Amino acid sequence: MASKKSVSDAVIKRLPRYFRYLSDLLEFGINRISSMELSKRMGITASQIRQDLNCFGGFGQQGYGYNVESLFREISTILGLDNKYQTVIIGAGHMGQALANYSNFEKRGYSLAGIFDNSPDVIGMKINGVTVADIETLEAFVKTHKVDIAMICVPYGHTRSVAEKAARCGIKGLWNFSPMDLKLNYDVIIENVHLSDSLMVLGYKLNEHISGNLPGNRQ
């Protein structure tokens, strides 16, 4: 298996797509697939698939292709889905509530341990069976619960202070949904998520399609 440092961000970002497509193949009862067949389904070249998977050992067999169930398990392990991460949500507004109610997180091994906010309007509210607590209790909560990831769903002006608070508590993974591209001088892993970016890309493609410059169904 290749050193993790040698794996590019582009390859890492494609891993969840492999996971999703392999999951679908298992649902359809498909047990074996070639890189060419997988490339047609995913819309990327067979060569790219082989290069990506070779970063982690390859997994295919000459003349056979890939065993779907085996490759699915390998990708799951690479993505850390066997680790059963504990998460908290900071910010119980619309985004925070939507994330709390998203059932697929639990299916993927991400358990919601707590929800925190600073507003009296939501503190004490139950969301998907979890009671919203005061953000001031976060440090005490982390001391008594194993928390791996904080989902940050607060307004721009509060993002950095909330993220630093989570980092000081010892939370190592931050999933940031605020408009800020968050960077911290702490030993943490940060994934910035900008949903509006994807929407604007769609708007661009739609505008080009309407203008006749871009065909439909293009990724």
Distance CA 125, CA 128 (A): 10
Task: Report the number of distinct structural domains present in the chain.
Answer: 2
pTM of the predicted structure, to 2 decimals: 0.84
> Residue 169: which domain range?
85-196
Spatial contact of 55 and 11, defined as CB atoms under 8 Å apart:
yes
Note whether 46 and 148 are same-domain residues.
no
Note whether 116 and 36 are same-domain residues.
no
Note whether 117 and 187 are same-domain residues.
yes
Task: Let me know if residue 151 belongs to a domain.
Answer: yes
Distance of CA 42 to the CA centre of its chain: 19
Note whether 187 and 101 are same-domain residues.
yes
Question: How many degrees, rounded to 5, is the angle at CA 51 between CA 45 and CA 57?
Answer: 140
Task: Let me know if residue 129 belongs to a domain.
Answer: yes
Domain boundary residue, one of 78, 104, 128: 78
Q: What is the CATH number of the domain that holds 109?
A: 3.40.50.720
Task: Let me know if residue 217 belongs to a domain.
Answer: no
Task: Let me know if residue 202 belongs to a domain.
Answer: no
pLDDT in tens, the chain (219 residues): 444 447 899 999 999 999 999 999 999 999 999 999 999 999 999 999 999 999 998 787 776 789 999 999 999 999 988 888 999 999 999 999 999 999 889 888 899 999 999 999 999 999 999 999 999 999 999 999 999 999 999 999 999 999 999 999 999 999 999 989 999 999 999 999 998 898 999 999 899 889 877 666 655
Q: What is the CATH number of the domain that holds 47?
A: 1.10.10.10
192: left (phi over 0), alpha (psi -120 to 50) or beta: beta
